[in-house]
Structure 1
Amino acid sequence: MIEQANREETAYILSNAALSANEGLQGTGVLTQEKAEHMLTAIMEKGAYHLVYKDRDKVGGWIMIGHNTDYFTEKEIGFIYDVYILPDYRGRGLSKKLVEAGISELKEKGYEEVRLNVFDANFAKGIYEKMGFEPLQTIMVYK
């Protein structure tokens, strides 16, 4: 079952903020729990929220959705900020189900476009591409 997270579930997600963020960073950096929580809280203060996958009232994964503004066009877009599946629930296609639910909810809110950021080395990039997400921008680094 996928539904909007309640207060208790949101607190649980926030308590796992560093776990989710650091896995997504793919070794490009490390966030403390405090920093990760601060980042998510700041996004939530701008209207973002979580949808959770629940199995017998236990959270198995989540997606954080909200909105953002394209810097160049100033167009409001739907945005996926975080997708995380707890280890015991992986391999069941839950990421795809959560992303589909997030897209559906954002489209219902009137957003014509949904975006997300993903590190190139993150295995989830392949999942997103199979779902129809296309590269939009490449950030490159020189050291």
Structure 2
Amino acid sequence: MQPENATSVSVRSTTIDDIPLIMELVKALAEFEGLSDHVLATEDSLKEGMFGKNKYAEAIIAEIDGKAVGFIVFFHNYSTFVGRPGLYIEDIFVYPEHRGKGVGKALMTYCGKIARERNCGRLEWSVLDWNPARKFYEHMGGEHQKEWLLYRLDDKGIEKLAERK
């Protein structure tokens, strides 16, 4: 069931020509999260990571009337417990003025179809604890994994780890 103010949302995979648009959406997401100063990506690094020799991630764009209104960036992981690949959603973002119009649902559904087609055993993502989108994710069937904590090493941490003796 679509909201009363539903608009026709189209969703598509991206091409190399979408790199400037993906960069724009990454910056908009970072601004929304108050993390603009953390964006180190460039159009060149996105091009290499999504369309280069080794494709590390893929993106999906949602459009209304031919205008981009949101995106998902995802990549494959692998579960030894399940014995199958999974999809991990790195980013999902819908411009605030287009929320509540079915854009997020269209993006998540499209990503779910990709996961099913690729025989993935899991579809996972992380969300900031303050983000009101948590209610949306739960509505879409997502379950908060209370027993798992996310850990991360940045460039400096990776360098220190790699140099350990």
Q: Who is 2:71 aligned against? A: 62
TM-score w.r.t. structure 1 length? 0.76
The answer to whether structure 1 residue 31 and structure 2 residue 37 are counterparts is yes
Report the equivalent of 2:6: none
State the 1:75 CA deviation: 5.5
RMSD of aligned residue pairs (Cα, Å):
2.7
Determine what percentage of the aligned residue pairs are the same residue.
22
Moved more, 94-103 or 47-56: 47-56
**1:78 corresponds to 2:84:** no
Number of residue pairs matched? 134
Contact conserved, 2:84 with 2:120, CA < 8 A, in 1? no
1:37, 1:22 → 2: CA distance? 16
Indicate how the Cα distance of structure 1 residues 127 and 43 shifts in structure 2: closer, same or farther if over 3 A, else same.
farther
Of the structure 1 ranges 5-14 and 125-134, higher mean CA displacement relative to structure 2 is found in: 5-14
For residues 24-57 of structure 1, give each alpha carbon's deviation from its aligned partner in whole angstroms, at most 9, with x where no partner exists.
xx44x54344x1448x837535442111112232
What is the CA-CA distance between 1:134 and the residue it aligns to? 0.9
Gaps of 5+ in 2: 1-9, 152-165
Structure 1, unpaired ranges of 5+: none
Q: TM-score, normalised by structure 2?
A: 0.67
Tell me, yes or no, if the aligned pair for 1:77 and 1:114 is still in contact at 8 Å.
yes
Partner in structure 1 of residue 118 of structure 2: 109
Q: Give the secondary structure class of the aligned counterpart of 1:31.
A: helix
For the 8 Å contact 1:21–1:36, the answer to whether it is kept is no
Structure 2 residue aligned with 1:125: 134
Q: Which residue of 1 aligns with 2:25?
A: 16
Q: Are positions 1:100 and 2:109 aligned together?
A: yes
